[in-house]
Structure 1
Amino acid sequence: MDNLVVGRFRWYVSPEEYPDMPQLVLHMVSQVIGMQEVDQQKMMEFILMVKKCYRNNPYHNFEHAFNVTHCMFNILQRNRDIFIDLEYKSLLISALCHDLDHSGFTNNFLQLTDDTLAQLYDESPLENHHYRTAMLILSICPIYPNMSQEMYKELSTEMKEAILATDLASYFKFRIKLMQLIQENQLDWSNNRHRTLCKAIIMTGCDLSGSCKPFLVAKNICENICKEFYNQGDLEKQMGLVPLSLMDREKSQNVPEDQVQFLTVVVLPCVELLKSILPNTEDLFLLATSLRETWQEIIQLKGHKSWRQDDSVLAVH
């Protein structure tokens, strides 16, 4: 709890604390949103229902949702002068709900297999489903009892924009637009379009914050992602397809290289952009930079020897 109050980006929930995650989420809600406008009983029911609606995936599970929520908590707490009341209420809950009922497969795979979600939604099928599921739970557990119908519609819009922003395909589009505004010195937080872009990057940064942790924590997260990816890769092989390297368990020796690539192309540009709009998030950038350096050291030390799940990396520290 003290770590949460201090607001350290590097903190990550330990296995011993897993049972406490719902209570810790409630604590974050009380700190960011305050309990005066929240039905505490409904909020606890909401959190528990959200937890139940996360599947038992290796990576896309409630632990991941909790970590993303904790990162959002830190960002909101550090920037109390920037966000308005509705944004506190929407962003923290969006972080918690952003991967609800995730199947453990990518959007590309859902579209490739003509999954029901891909039939329902032309773009971002997973993210649209996460949002719809979140709104369904909110309708069952009205956590903001005093919110007007008009304000609730605004909350719904904010949550939809936030959750859909976690589709990496959308992130690359948002990043280009926001970078241009920053480079031209035109970013204006009072401009709603600019503000939406900033919130989208914040959501992505939180979603990627598992790559902004100390190495041993990030390595464990990486192993869980690999388990999920390899499951998809196995199915793709059964379908006669050639999976991406990072989804092929027979290419597990490429994990360090894949991680360096992911950090370089996706994570670091995101958290560097986040640092540009919110300088007090610099720790995320520094942690991701350190993580990339460690993976690079592993590549240099091990050469092309197979990277095994049980390899000790303490020697590189």
Structure 2
Amino acid sequence: ADICHCLLCRPHCIITGNAVLSCVCQEVTVLFSRSCYVWFCFSLFDICICSYSVPAGESEDHASNRKQRSKLSLQMYLQCSRSFHGTLTFRHLHLLDQVYYGQAKCMLQRVGTWNFDIFLFDRLTNGESLVCLTLELFCKYGLIELFGLDPLRLHSFLVRIQEGYRSRNPYHNSLHAADVTQAMYCYLQEPKLSESLTSWDILLALLAAATHDLEHPGVNQNFLLKNDHFLASLYQNSVLENHHWKSALSHLRESGLLSHLPIEDRHRMEERLGSLILATDISRQNEFLSRFKAHLDRKDLNMSSPEHRQFILQMALKCADICNPCRPNSLSTCWSHCVTKEFFQQGDVERAHRHDVSPLCDRHSNSVAIIQKSFISYVVEPLFVQWARFCDTPLSHCMLGYMKQNKKYWSNAGQEDLMDNAQTTCCKVLPRGT
């Protein structure tokens, strides 16, 4: 049957209650000439859109928050459905609602700038920063068109990834993943990369950045080994990184996002994804840094070589993963407090179980300043000096400048533990799952 020109309305039975979802929008009816498209579009809402009525026993505040969080999905599903009908091209696909997410959408215009405030963006998107940012980058690069991706499966996959991060972790949560993904995008724009990388390289780089710490338990590898954790029995080395990789593969396969591609391409992509994620193992820092420095000394990096491009992507992801000290001080200090809080939480658990407290995890003998000075001097600075040597761009030297400022800041902080100064503003992020 033909659809009314101004009102699309269908009753929906949702787990939490019954609702009537309506859309008074003449534009939508014009975009769908046949009712099957409309029912297809609206049936998808059953999956992701919360009931607009208040189920019995649910407070008005909780219902209001639930409905607010659904607005992004509502807008995106409508627009994805438009694109299926060919009226909107993926290049012009706007994924943020112009009314409720106008400020976030405005921020995304500056997503390639190094002072991008991921904390503010996360608040504006109501804790959905990883999904919103990654979708925007996929659209910027035209990856949906290039690889024939189903936008709805892509959205579902990214939601699963975001929910796979534990919001209880002060640092290793989906906000960190969003920050690393944004940093990776900045690096992908560097001339030596942008002029050489293939579409596959870019797809892998963004996927690796978004999933590199997936299902992180909030403790380090030594903790897992000491406590005979089941993950330690699954993998011989790089326990956490292998877990992140396998978790990413599980979500990728279950989502069916790449199921339409040849199996050889999928297997190759999965191996390359693992290569990138495994490179973030901090215990392999010297291995990668020595190899990177040797290449730069010999001047033999050839970006037309798939092997060399993969290596540079590994180095880019390593830089993105630990780039916090190279951000502006207002952002860097927030991350410093978050990671220190997570370290100290692990130390508290170890002390409670009468285990030896891991290095950097004892709140009685460490402080944010002590940890950051050591981390910058021995881990961050050696890596970013070589990265700047490779890129030799304003961004790479800008990062070194911020790093020196932050190093000086923590040196001036002395032995004081400044944890309480920024916890409330920096470590408080919106719930994103368990």
TM-score normalised by structure 2 residue count: 0.66
Q: 1:142, CA displacement in angstroms?
A: 2.5
Q: For residues 207 and 35 of structure 1, what CA distance do their matches in structure 2 show?
A: 25
Structure 1 window deviating more from structure 2 (239-248 vs 31-40): it is 239-248
Q: For residues 412 and 195 of structure 2, what CA distance do their matches in structure 1 show?
A: 40
The letter of the residue matching 1:27 is: E
How much is the aligned-residue C-alpha RMSD, in angstroms? 2.1
2:379 to 258, 266, 283: 266
Q: 1:45, CA displacement in angstroms?
A: 0.5
Task: Report the 3-state secondary structure (helix = DSSP H, G, I; strand = E; otherwise coil) of the residue aligned with 2:143.
Answer: coil
Q: 1:85, CA displacement in angstroms?
A: 1.4
**What's 1:255 paired with?**
368
1:47 to 138, 146, 158: 158
Q: 1:192, CA displacement in angstroms?
A: 4.2
The letter of the residue matching 2:117 is: Y
When residues 143 and 193 of structure 1 are mapped into structure 2, their CA distance, relative to the original with a 3 A threshold, is same
Q: How does 1:61-72 map to 2 (within 5 A)?
A: 61-72=173-184
1:34 aligns with 2:148: no
When residues 246 and 291 of structure 1 are mapped into structure 2, their CA distance, relative to the original with a 3 A threshold, is same
When residues 305 and 123 of structure 1 are mapped into structure 2, their CA distance, relative to the original with a 3 A threshold, is closer
Q: 1:54, CA displacement in angstroms?
A: 0.7
Q: 1:222, CA displacement in angstroms?
A: 1.4
**What's 1:17 paired with?**
124
1:202-233, CA deviations, whole angstroms, 9 ceiling, x for partnerless residues? 11101112222222222221111122111111
The letter of the residue matching 1:29 is: F
**What's 1:290 paired with?**
405
1:276 to 380, 383, 389: 389
1:145-189, CA deviations, whole angstroms, 9 ceiling, x for partnerless residues? 542211111110110001111111122211111111212222233
When residues 306 and 50 of structure 1 are mapped into structure 2, their CA distance, relative to the original with a 3 A threshold, is closer
**What's 2:317 paired with?**
203
Q: Is the 8 A contact 2:154 2:257 kept in 1?
A: yes
Which one has the bigger helix percentage?
Answer: 1
When residues 5 and 305 of structure 1 are mapped into structure 2, their CA distance, relative to the original with a 3 A threshold, is closer
Q: 1:53, CA displacement in angstroms?
A: 0.8
Structure 1 window deviating more from structure 2 (50-59 vs 210-219): it is 210-219
When residues 305 and 118 of structure 1 are mapped into structure 2, their CA distance, relative to the original with a 3 A threshold, is closer
Task: Report the 3-state secondary structure (helix = DSSP H, G, I; strand = E; otherwise coil) of the residue aligned with 1:247.
Answer: coil
Structure 1 window deviating more from structure 2 (134-143 vs 233-242): it is 233-242
Q: 1:47, CA displacement in angstroms?
A: 0.7
When residues 88 and 30 of structure 1 are mapped into structure 2, their CA distance, relative to the original with a 3 A threshold, is same
Q: Is the 8 A contact 1:39 1:145 kept in 2?
A: no
TM-score normalised by structure 1 residue count: 0.89
**What's 1:315 paired with?**
none
Structure 1 window deviating more from structure 2 (286-295 vs 102-111): it is 286-295
Q: 1:99, CA displacement in angstroms?
A: 0.6
1:87-131, CA deviations, whole angstroms, 9 ceiling, x for partnerless residues? 111110110001111000101211122211111101111111111
Q: For residues 190 and 311 of structure 1, what CA distance do their matches in structure 2 show?
A: 45
Q: For residues 105 and 305 of structure 1, what CA distance do their matches in structure 2 show?
A: 24
> How many percent identity over aligned positions?
24
Q: How does 1:137-152 map to 2 (within 5 A)?
A: 137-144=251-258, 146-152=260-266
Q: How does 1:233-248 map to 2 (within 5 A)?
A: 233-244=347-358, 246-248=360-362
**What's 1:187 paired with?**
301
Task: Report the 3-state secondary structure (helix = DSSP H, G, I; strand = E; otherwise coil) of the residue aligned with 1:249.
Answer: coil
Q: For residues 311 and 73 of structure 1, what CA distance do their matches in structure 2 show?
A: 27
1:8 aligns with 2:113: yes
Greater Cα radius of gyration, structure 1 or 2:
2
Q: For residues 18 and 291 of structure 1, what CA distance do their matches in structure 2 show?
A: 28
Higher RCO (Cα < 8 Å, 6 or more apart): 1
Q: For residues 142 and 282 of structure 2, what CA distance do their matches in structure 1 show?
A: 28
1:114 aligns with 2:228: yes
When residues 267 and 218 of structure 1 are mapped into structure 2, their CA distance, relative to the original with a 3 A threshold, is same
1:35-82, CA deviations, whole angstroms, 9 ceiling, x for partnerless residues? 202211111101101011111211100000000011111212333212
Q: Is the 8 A contact 1:50 1:137 kept in 2?
A: yes
When residues 150 and 306 of structure 1 are mapped into structure 2, their CA distance, relative to the original with a 3 A threshold, is closer
Q: 1:32, CA displacement in angstroms?
A: 2.8
2:273 to 156, 159, 167: 159
- Tell me how many residue pairs correspond in the alignment: 307
Q: For residues 268 and 377 of structure 2, what CA distance do their matches in structure 1 show?
A: 36
Structure 1 window deviating more from structure 2 (39-48 vs 79-88): it is 79-88
